[in-house]
């Protein structure tokens, strides 16, 4: 028992050192981490690949491998949006007893609205509108409540990105990983479907400059119904209804301003007065990056060049 106590203390110290390096000393003083000591009761097993316990029947210490699907990265946990929670805020309090009762796994998981419905703190995210979009999506129509919020949003490491991240490339990578975790991963895909996951490169072989599109556009930008209520649209469309026309993105009225660049576009209008300010700073979209000031300036410069060429030609004739 003494050895186990020493190991637990050392692990707890290591956890705080890891959190300190990840989020900084000032952040640790925040209330968000007030439950770190309480949560360590879970992380001492679920935060590593192996766990140990004392078997009273055999009177021996046992070391076993942890199911990889139940291993939680504690550092990522304390840098995500739900980091202030206790594990038992979402999981049954009976999980504090080891060994866990197998029947606990039969209990359903909470949904986002169980906590966020009519919540003033999260009203800006329009959770009720997101839930309506989700129920209209192809995922819900095909799988029902089996396809829950947690299929895409891992509650142990989910972070709001589109609203808070200034780097569009980070938003694209983060959001696309959610989709590809099922659609290009056989392990996750088999939770819902018996069929093998498709090759996403082959499925999009019609797309010109495919690699460039994958790096600069999210899956959602082509596969969701445009909504004005929420920042990130959740009404996933059937593949037959996905965007396939180049002009839908590569035009002055690009749909990207209502999807990928939605939040940044609103910020730009309020600060700089034109829609494409953020797009110009992050990514160039042929046909979409039009700025009236730059358009006029380029025409003036082009006109001056033509006038200078004419004057130059006339002077050469006169001199000759």
DSSP string, 223-258: HB---SSSSS---BPPGGGS---HHHHSSTT-GGGG
User: What pLDDT score was predicted for residue 183?
Assistant: 86
pLDDT averaged over every residue in the chain: 80
pLDDT-based confidence at 19, cuts 50/70/90? low
pLDDT of 26 reads: 44
Identify the residue with better confidence: 263 or 260: 260
**Overall average pLDDT of the 144-153 stretch:** 87
What is the per-residue pLDDT across 203-237, written as a single tens digit (0 to 9) for each? 898 988 899 899 888 998 899 988 766 778 899 99
Mean pLDDT across the stretch 247-274?
70
What's the pLDDT tens digit per position in 245-254?
888 888 877 8
Cis peptide before 99 (omega within 30 of 0): yes
Give 236's strand partners. 224
Residue with the bigger pLDDT between 156 and 193: it is 156
Query: Where do the DSSP E strands lie in 101-233?
Result: none
Candidate from 15-19, 106-110, 186-190 with smallest mean pLDDT? 15-19
Q: Token digits for 251?
A: 């035009």
Band of residue 167 on the pLDDT scale cut at 50, 70, 90: confident
Query: What's the confidence (pLDDT) of residue 314?
Result: 92
CA atoms within 13 A on the CB side of 209: 8
Query: pLDDT grade, residue 60 (50/70/90)?
Result: very high
Residue 269 in this model has a pLDDT that exceeds 60: no
pLDDT for res 4? 56
- What beta strand segments (E) does 66-144 contain? none
Separation of alpha carbons 81 and 213, rounded Å: 29
Confirm if 73 and 39 have CB atoms less than 8 A apart. no
């Amino acid at each position: 028992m003494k050895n186990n106590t020493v190991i637990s203390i050392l692990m707890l110290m290591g956890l705080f050192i890891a959190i300190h390096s990840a989020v900084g000393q000032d952040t640790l003083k925040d209330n968000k981490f007030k439950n770190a000591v309480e949560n360590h009761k879970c992380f001492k097993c679920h935060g590593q690949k192996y766990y140990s316990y004392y078997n009273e029947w055999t009177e021996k210490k046992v070391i076993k491998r942890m199911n990889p699907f139940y291993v939680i990265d504690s550092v990522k946990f304390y840098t995500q949006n739900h980091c202030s929670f206790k594990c038992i805020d979402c999981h049954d309090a009976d999980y504090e007893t080891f060994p866990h009762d197998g029947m606990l796994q039969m209990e359903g998981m909470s949904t986002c609205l169980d906590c966020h419905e009519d919540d003033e703190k999260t009203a800006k995210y329009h959770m009720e509108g997101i839930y309506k979009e989700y129920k209209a999506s192809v995922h819900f129509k095909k799988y029902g409540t089996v396809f829950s919020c947690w299929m895409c949003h891992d509650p142990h490491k989910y972070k709001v990105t589109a609203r808070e991240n200034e780097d569009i490339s980070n938003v694209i990578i983060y959001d696309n990983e959610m989709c590809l975790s099922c659609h290009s991963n056989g392990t996750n895909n088999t939770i819902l479907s018996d069929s093998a996951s498709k090759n996403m490169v082959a499925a999009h072989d019609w797309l010109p400059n495919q690699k460039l599109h994958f790096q600069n556009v999210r899956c959602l930008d082509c596969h969701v119904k445009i909504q004005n209520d929420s920042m990130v649209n959740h009404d996933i469309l059937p593949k037959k209804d996905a965007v396939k026309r180049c002009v839908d993105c590569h035009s002055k009225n690009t749909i990207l301003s209502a999807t990928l660049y939605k939040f940044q576009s609103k910020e730009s209008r309020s600060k700089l007065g034109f829609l494409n300010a953020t797009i110009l700073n992050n990514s160039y979209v042929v046909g979409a990056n039009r700025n009236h000031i730059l358009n006029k300036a380029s025409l003036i410069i082009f006109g001056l060049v033509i006038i200078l060429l004419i004057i130059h030609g006339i002077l050469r004739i006169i001199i000759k």
